[in-house]
Amino acid sequence: MDRILVISLSGIGDTLMATPLFHELRRQHPRARIEALVLWKGARQVLLGNPHVDEVHQHDFLGGSRTGSIAFCLRLRKRRYDLSINTHTQGRRGYRLIARLIGARERLSHEYENQGWPDRLLVTRSCPQDYGLHAMENNLRLLERIGLRPTDPDPRYEVFLEPSEREWADRWCAENLGGEGRMLGIHVGSGGTKNLALRRWPLENWAGLLRALPSVLPGIRPVLFGGPEEAALHAELRRSGVAFQEAKTSTLREAMALVARCAGFISVDTVFMHVAAAMEVPRQWVIETPTLNPPVHPRRRDWIRIPNPGVGGRPLDFYRYDGRDIAGSPEELRRIMRSVTVDDALESLRRGL
């Protein structure tokens, strides 16, 4: 097997969860050329410096034209891949159509609940996804379809930061924190595709948490992370009169290096949840949402779930990997996220820190 393409288009966090797959492919095919196809610029940054990836292709299938996307796939088709793998959790049929256009000899994908006869024409081999397994295990199970036995019993995220990126984080801490206090990383946003923004914890709750932190956890310095899409949320929090430090980073890799300096991190299930786990932040809290299914739990030995009584331990009733939105009306989903109170989060942080 000379040329392998890993297709990871559904999110930056999903690409992080695919890093053990790249490692396993390199271990079992050391002479193969292993490439990746991603949609998001942040996903490309996740794979920079990864010794198990020879090349990363990035294309905006959502924002680009249909003809431009087809032309992009046909250019990759000329590379004549022996194998392509659609990673978990790519449930939309469009992801499998992209694999078919690229046309690797063997095309692997999972079987999702929206599977139909057209999917049998788009991929050559598949296995049912398992909601009881992490996305990492779901990915590695695909290799069994081509006769490979995964060798790592406990796959983990892999990020390869440069020393200069870690040095940048050291300088940021010295200039902005003066060496005082421990950082609590916070991400108030969430994904913007489909209706995923509705799983955000209400901004007024974040404001209440930030107001209470100095008295409940003295010495803890809240630092808010995010990209341009979070700028408006941060500005609104400042207008409400709460104090925090904003991590103004120019790249996701800088943000990852800075997250590694945090004593703790709190968020809902977003890319920064996976970043915090990958950077092995000592303490991590995740506010439960209707999308927090086992395949996308933070992959680490310990993390703290802040329970959501509105979800009631049944996230699969709300969200499955079938390309659909979160089930429920906007008001219902907002009500579910409001059911986690500021006191719930504060008590969990107090116990953990």
The CATH number for 244's domain is: 3.40.50.2000
* pLDDT value at residue 228: 87
Asked if residue 313 and residue 263 are part of one domain, the reply reads yes
Q: What average pLDDT score do residues 235-252 get? A: 95
Q: What does the pLDDT average to over 37-50?
A: 97
The answer to whether residues 244 and 307 belong to one domain is yes
Tell me: do 205 and 171 sit in the same domain.
Answer: yes
Mean pLDDT, rounded, of the chain? 95
Report, as an integer, the average pLDDT of 166-189.
91
Band of residue 265 on the pLDDT scale cut at 50, 70, 90: very high
Please check whether residues 224 and 330 belong to one and the same domain: yes
Identify whether residues 192 and 323 lie together within a single domain.
Answer: yes
Strand pairing partners for 126?
A: 109
Whether 34 maps to a domain, the answer reads: yes
With tokens 């009306």, the residue in question is 329
Instruction: Please check whether residue 152 lies inside any domain of the structure.
Output: no
pTM for this entry: 0.95
Among 282, 339, 335, 331, smallest CA distance to 308 is for: 339
The pLDDT score that the predictor gives to residue 194 is 87
Residues 36, 170, single domain; the answer is no
Per residue in 106-159, pLDDT tens?
A: 999 999 999 888 898 999 999 999 999 999 999 999 999 999 999 998 999 999
CB 58 within 8 A of CB 29: no
The residue type found at 237 is: L
State which residues form the domain around 136: 3-146
> How many angstroms separate the CA atoms of 331 and 170, rounded?
43
- Provide the number of structural domains found in the chain: 2
